[in-house]
Chains A and B, each alone.
Chain A
Amino acid sequence: MEAIILQILNGLDKGSAYALIALGLTLIFGTLGVVNFAHGALFMIGAFCAVTLSRILSLSHTVVDETQKDFLGNPLQVEVPYVYNIFGQATGEAIIDWAVPLAILFTIPIMIGVGWIMERGLIKHFYKRPHADQILVTFGLAIVLQEVIKYFYGANPIPTPAPEAFIGSFDFGAMIGFEAGQIIYPYWRIVYFMFAAVIIGAVFAFLQFTTFGMVVRAGMADRETVGLLGINIDRRFTIMFGIAAAVAGLAGVMYTPINSPNYHMGMDFLVLSFVVVVVGGMGSLPGAVLAGFLLGILESFASMPEVTSIIPGINQVIIYLVAIIILLTRPRGLMGRKGVMED
């Protein structure tokens, strides 16, 4: 039982990342009908927003500290971040420590902007062209974005720690009444899962309970009719693209403490996220979220030593295997709608 709960928990954080990226992909697909291969790059850009913010906050100048001496007896030179000068030492330290969560605020406008530029600048010209062309041009864009990031940040992963308060693990088993020491789980992963749940909830609430969301849903169902009613549906879809980009970016920001970001992290996630979208059903938002968590948990179960000793390497192929089986038995995916991408 403990082992099962532990594997479910382990699957949750990866599942959250899959679900967030897949949610964005599906939003774009459902509204604009575009297969966005650059979505992984948006995830990566989000992660690098966090890196950038933590670097900006740590910008420092050298100050001579008269009270301390180095080993030669000269006054010690210390690097003091500018943040200390503005907010004072204690607050400054806290701000630097909380750089990753703070990056959320910084990332949302940037990602919406990036998404808006992408949609208006490039993708809108591809609505009328075949899906293969959309895949190709966004694939090219993903390469370009990835290389730009590589040029500025280098090819090595950049470690970006979580705030001090969330470093380390806690005993989840003891909290829910199991023996102590059985289910140990890192704090940040549970934070990530809760964050993902909030974002997913917010997106659904936005679509479900606001007028804007209602119009967007109507547009997803029948774009032409909504347009005929005198609503500028293109503008709303562009905004949805920005929101989808922001969701991917936020997933990236919060993922940085789990995995140090590098320039190809987006592509690594993208391939799996596409599988997730297809399993969940093209164009179905709940399907994408469900499939994301399901496949994440499945993957973590498959990597249990008990399982890999029976079927070696199953953890590497399980997701693809499941995707193939689902695509062949339930062509529309788990929750796919009728008539979406059936040619």
Chain B
Amino acid sequence: MFGLNKKDSTLLLIVAGLVLLAPFLLNPFPEGSAMAQFNAGYPDLMQRFVIFGIFAIGFNILFGLTGYLSFGHAAFLGVGSYAAMWMFKLFGMNVLPALALSILMSGLFAVVIGYVSLRRSGIYFSILTLAFAMMSYALAYSVLAADMDGPDQQGLLQKGLTGGETGLQLTLDDPRILGQQTAGDGNLPVPSLFGLEMRSASELNVGDWVFTFSAGYYFSAIVMLLSFYLSIRIFRSPFGLVLRSIKSNQQRLSYTGMNPKPYMLAAFVISGMYAGLAGGLMAAMDPLAGPERMFWTASGEVVLMTILGGVGTLIGPVLGAGAIKYMENILSKINSDILHSWFAFLPDGLEDFVVTLIYPFIGKGWHLTLGIIFMLVVIFLPGGLVEGGQRIARAMRRKKQTASDDDTKAKQPAE
């Protein structure tokens, strides 16, 4: 299917099914029940799942295939967001041209940064990308936020290219030459796809369950499925094979007469464009772009996602992004009252003890849980969640096999 072999088609179909049915699957608990806080099926969070999924898929094309660890990928995310915002401000609220510009701009950025950074490898490459990202952050935060129209002018650039600390926002007097300046009711217009507003959503009530279907989520989900398909094609292509050989032995690759540099740069640019796409989508879902998207912790986050899910695997980064965003939004909401209500069945003293034991790991402390899980994964499961799943599957299969072996042995008649 679509030029994929059977295994990959199945994977793509499974992912497509999961992503398209996510509003049901992520809402397993009825509204109002005690478990409802574990529901992740609301549009805002689901959008984040798929958008960070795109970001991580792109990062994995660089890190997973070539082994070059970039610590500055958030720069492209930020560039994508700013580019999309400018498209919204100047031309109109359609998301497609905005995404096109995000991809283009982040691609251009990636060409420049990649060309320079890829001259070094290993830790030096990580530091160079980190330095570039922090430079972009500092520029977006202060330099590019300077008034470029001159003082006392209320022009388009009065808060500079990036809007500084507050970020870039839509205003009512943006030109938007191809769309309307204001929505019908005099408010700010909303990003839309040929009239389909990104924030529009419909609800479906089944018994106690409420399922929300948001246009924004489905749009992002389809974009993510396309990027996922593209990443499978890249993984299976001769180009992907060259990238893998760079990871395993760059020197030997050079001896065969191939120059790895252009391939590296291509991988870097592709992965930068994925990040830009993710940034553009973020702006399309919530028209705002701030410099903190470029800060190095944001770059660190995508590294965490990719490693947690499984570096170098197709599905790993998506899983990792989902897991981290789920923890960030759900784990952080649990407070000590909720914990007390969970452990209410225990005797009082024991209940307090258990709650104080668990409390540091939830709520505001979710980063601690994340850090511990991440360390455990790096130490014991270098292949991430995917390797964990494979190991469990293998262990199950082995058990079944030995069981069936015993059966066949028993059934074989003794001669």
Residues of A within 8 A of B (CB): 35, 122, 125, 130-133, 135-137, 139-144, 146-148, 150-151, 267, 271, 274-275, 278, 282, 312-313, 316-317, 320-321, 323-324, 327-328, 331, 341, 343
Measured CA separation A320–B136 after assembly (Å): 10
- Establish whether residues A327 and B120, one from each chain, have CB atoms under 8 Å apart when the complex forms: yes
- Establish whether residues A275 and B127, one from each chain, have CB atoms under 8 Å apart when the complex forms: yes
Measured CA separation A278–B375 after assembly (Å): 25
Beyond known contacts A150-B367, A323-B127: 13 more, CB 8 A cutoff? A125-B379, A131-B122, A133-B378, A133-B382, A140-B378, A147-B365, A148-B368, A316-B143, A317-B138, A321-B135, A323-B131, A341-B122, A341-B123
Q: Shortest CB–CB separation between residue A337 and chain B, in angstroms? A: 15
- Establish whether residues A144 and B143, one from each chain, have CB atoms under 8 Å apart when the complex forms: no
Q: Shortest CB–CB separation between residue B267 and chain A, in angstroms? A: 16
Q: Shortest CB–CB separation between residue A93 and chain B, in angstroms? A: 36
Residues of chain A within 8 A (CB-CB) of B126 are 135
B residues 92-138 in Cβ contact with A at 8 Å: 116, 119-124, 126-128, 130-132, 134-135, 138
Q: Is B218 an interface residue (CB 8 A)?
A: no
- Establish whether residues A132 and B69, one from each chain, have CB atoms under 8 Å apart when the complex forms: yes
- Establish whether residues A151 and B296, one from each chain, have CB atoms under 8 Å apart when the complex forms: no
Measured CA separation A136–B379 after assembly (Å): 10
Which of the residues B135, B300, B375 comes within 8 Å of A137, measured between beta carbons? B375
Measured CA separation A130–B312 after assembly (Å): 15
**A333, closest chain B residue (CB):** B124
Measured CA separation A267–B334 after assembly (Å): 27
Residues of chain B within 8 A (CB-CB) of A312 are 142-143, 146
Count CB-based A-B contacts (< 8 Å): 109
Q: Shortest CB–CB separation between residue A46 and chain B, in angstroms? A: 20
- Establish whether residues B123 and A135, one from each chain, have CB atoms under 8 Å apart when the complex forms: yes
Measured CA separation A343–B121 after assembly (Å): 7
- Establish whether residues B135 and A320, one from each chain, have CB atoms under 8 Å apart when the complex forms: yes
Q: Shortest CB–CB separation between residue B367 and chain A, in angstroms? A: 5
Which of the residues A35, A137, A139, A327 comes within 8 Å of B379, measured between beta carbons? A137
**A139, closest chain B residue (CB):** B300
Question: Which DSSP category, helix, strand, loop or mixed, fits chain B's interface?
Answer: helix
The 8 closest A-B pairs by CB, nearest first: A313-B143, A143-B371, A316-B138, A147-B368, A140-B375, A144-B371, A320-B131, A140-B374
Residues of B within 8 A of A (CB): 67, 69, 116, 119-124, 126-128, 130-132, 134-135, 138-139, 141-143, 146, 296-297, 300, 303, 307, 360, 365, 367-368, 370-372, 374-375, 378-379, 382
Which of the residues B122, B135, B139, B375 comes within 8 Å of A141, measured between beta carbons? B375
Measured CA separation A283–B119 after assembly (Å): 20
**B370, closest chain A residue (CB):** A143
Measured CA separation A49–B372 after assembly (Å): 23
- Establish whether residues B130 and A274, one from each chain, have CB atoms under 8 Å apart when the complex forms: yes
Q: Shortest CB–CB separation between residue A70 and chain B, in angstroms? A: 37
Which of the residues B67, B124, B134, B297 comes within 8 Å of A320, measured between beta carbons? B134
Residues of chain A within 8 A (CB-CB) of B134 are 271, 317, 320
Residues of chain B within 8 A (CB-CB) of A139 are 300, 303
Q: Shortest CB–CB separation between residue A168 and chain B, in angstroms? A: 31
Residues of chain B within 8 A (CB-CB) of A146 are 367, 371
Q: Shortest CB–CB separation between residue B16 and chain A, in angstroms? A: 31
What are 22 A-B contacts defined by CB distance under 8 Å? A122-B379, A135-B123, A140-B372, A140-B374, A140-B375, A140-B378, A141-B375, A143-B370, A143-B374, A144-B371, A146-B367, A147-B365, A147-B371, A150-B365, A274-B127, A320-B135, A320-B138, A323-B131, A324-B132, A331-B124, A341-B123, A341-B124
Measured CA separation A321–B143 after assembly (Å): 15
- Establish whether residues B303 and A136, one from each chain, have CB atoms under 8 Å apart when the complex forms: yes
- Establish whether residues A324 and B367, one from each chain, have CB atoms under 8 Å apart when the complex forms: no
**B377, closest chain A residue (CB):** A140
**A136, closest chain B residue (CB):** B378
**B373, closest chain A residue (CB):** A140
Residues of chain A within 8 A (CB-CB) of B371 are 140-144, 146-147
**B113, closest chain A residue (CB):** A324
Residues of chain A within 8 A (CB-CB) of B119 are 328
Residues of chain A within 8 A (CB-CB) of B300 are 139
Residues of chain B within 8 A (CB-CB) of A135 are 69, 123, 126
- Establish whether residues B131 and A324, one from each chain, have CB atoms under 8 Å apart when the complex forms: yes
Q: Shortest CB–CB separation between residue B138 and chain A, in angstroms? A: 3
- Establish whether residues A143 and B367, one from each chain, have CB atoms under 8 Å apart when the complex forms: yes
Measured CA separation A136–B297 after assembly (Å): 13
Which of the residues A141, A151, A320 comes within 8 Å of B360, measured between beta carbons? A151
- Establish whether residues A316 and B368, one from each chain, have CB atoms under 8 Å apart when the complex forms: no
- Establish whether residues A320 and B120, one from each chain, have CB atoms under 8 Å apart when the complex forms: no
Which of the residues A125, A144, A267, A327 comes within 8 Å of B368, measured between beta carbons? A144
Q: Shortest CB–CB separation between residue B64 and chain A, in angstroms? A: 11
- Establish whether residues B139 and A327, one from each chain, have CB atoms under 8 Å apart when the complex forms: no
Residues of chain B within 8 A (CB-CB) of A151 are 360, 365, 368
**A274, closest chain B residue (CB):** B127
Which of the residues B121, B131, B370 comes within 8 Å of A275, measured between beta carbons? B131
Question: With A136-B307, A323-B127 known to touch, is A313 a contact of B374 (CB < 8 Å)?
Answer: no
Measured CA separation A66–B372 after assembly (Å): 54
Residues of chain A within 8 A (CB-CB) of B139 are 313, 316-317
Residue among A133, A267, A320, A328 with max Cβ neighbours from chain B (10 Å): A320
**A323, closest chain B residue (CB):** B131
Measured CA separation A147–B121 after assembly (Å): 31
